[in-house]
Amino acid sequence: MESYRNIWNNFFNYLLEHWNIKDFEKIEAHHVQAYMDYKIEYYPSKQYLEKISAALGKLEIALKIFAKSIHGLEKEYDFSIRQAILDEARDLKFVVNNYHNRAYNNPEFLISFLQNPLHQLAAKIQHEGGARIEGVALIKPEQLLGAKFDVITNTQKGIIFTKEKGGKEGEVLISVYTYNELQNYLYKNPKFKINRQVYYEDIKQAATQACENPEGSHGLRWNFAKRRMFEYAQAGYSYGESLQQVSCEMKHNRASITEHYLGK
């Protein structure tokens, strides 16, 4: 119970800092998903991630009991997403004792093998702009902000405004071609939406066909980080400056986290 309480306290501090949530009854599944993704990005041990999942499962039960005893309501809490994320992390070995370079050798080739056209578009956004899965799982028309000149590569880029990991907001810059493809889709549909688990399975199959190690959609962020670091270096930025800029673009707080994506 003490170890669970420590995880709960850490989770609650995260919710307060990133989501400004002070009422525990307002916790929803997407908060659990964001928290576990947040932890995975810092490469916990497999045992610790399993403990986090178990603790959040107990929290779900506790919230249901609390709602019934205090309010007399059968309030629905469903944190089952934690198990799907845990299974995916174990499958892809996203844990510290299995750390390795997760960038794909030929991400464009892998993307071409994706069966679902929407998955291809999502993968291109992740690869070109460094977005996390929650940044591409749901995109609404109002998130498209037109084009801007990228002074780092001296090219025009399309802008998607996303809110990711703990509510962090910012621009994702993608090629004009990919931006237009997304824009055309949103002209005909009210939103762009994909199922995370189905997307993961499609990438896994595509990786097999492309003779790549299956690293999930997160591997595309590794490709983005490596390419973007090179682009900043070509633009005359120092190594430290490049780390900081890429970290900001990937919606991290610390420059040092970018080194994870460089195999440091």
Beta-bridge partners for 192: 139
Integer Cα distance of 208 and 190 in angstroms: 33
Collapsed DSSP state (helix, strand, coil) of residue 97: helix
Assign residue 27 a region: left if phi > 0, alpha if psi is -120 to 50, beta otherwise? beta
Integer Cα distance of 259 and 26 in angstroms: 35
CATH code for 107-261? 1.10.443.10
233: exposed, middle or buried (C-beta count within 10 Å: 0-12, 13-18, 19+)?
middle
What lies within 8 Å, CB to CB, of 68 at 6+ separation is 74, 75
- CATH 1.10.443.10 positions along the chain are 107-261
Examine the pLDDT at 58 and tell me if it is beyond 60.
Answer: yes
pLDDT bin (cut points 50, 70, 90) of residue 244 is confident
Interaxial angle between packed helices 176-188 and 117-129, expressed in degrees from 0 to 180 and rounded to the nearest 10: 140
In tens, the pLDDT along 139-160 reads 999 999 999 999 999 999 999 9
In tens, the pLDDT along 171-197 reads 999 999 999 999 999 999 999 999 877
In the numeric block, the tokens 């889709």 are attached to 185
pLDDT bin (cut points 50, 70, 90) of residue 239 is confident
